[in-house]
Structure 1
Amino acid sequence: MLRFIHAVAQEGAAELREFGLTPAQYQLLVQVGRRPGVAQWQLVEAFGVTKGNVSQLVKRLEQAGLVERARVKASDELSLTDSGRALLERVMPAHDEFMDRQFAALDRGELDTLMRLIMRLARP
């Protein structure tokens, strides 16, 4: 099982590199795309990482012109730029196809069960 997880992670990272992204950057773009105006601290909680990790990710994506920050009260709210939205629209279908290929041996019910179990294990 660990071999499968490692292989999927490596192949997925290689696929995202073709778009100039790391897996963490992709996940941040997805979260900001789904929740425009999300506060940076909310991403810290969602990812379960430090403020410094999220700050560095945001800084790199901001420098690349994919994300923009707006200071609202005491926090930074994030949104995708037009370039960020366009990139995400190209990457998401390719990533979804990649994930579909990885789990093609499972039928819909098995995949739903697997995801439910993984989510249960991932909860702190």
Structure 2
Amino acid sequence: MAVVSVADGILTVEVEGWDRVWALRSRIEIPLRHVRGATLDPGIVREPKGVKSGGTHVPGVIVAGTFRRDGEKVFWDVKNPEKAVVIELADEAYARLVVEVADPRETLALVERALRDA
């Protein structure tokens, strides 16, 4: 699971617990000006992931780490698809961050509020 926060114009994704090991990342920081938006999309976990560049993929159990597909890098940290939030990025190494959070609607509102107020 991950925690998404916004402070001082930076969106931060903190990967928690054992997910740090599975994803091979503990933190990602993105300037808010590079965040295009966020959506709730539990169905995204059924889409092809591409080639694993580092991390873990056990279908139906966990997707964590960096995957490349169609020339894009996507960071994943999802076990429960019902709690998946997709954060779309521009001008970053990652095209998207797909992360499981405790409260997807609250996280979506946080990102939308930060983008509106930026």
Instruction: Confirm or deny a common fold (TM above 0.5).
Output: no
* Bigger strand share: 2
TM-score (norm 1): 0.33
Bigger relative contact order, structure 1 or 2, given CA contacts below 8 A and separation 6+? 2
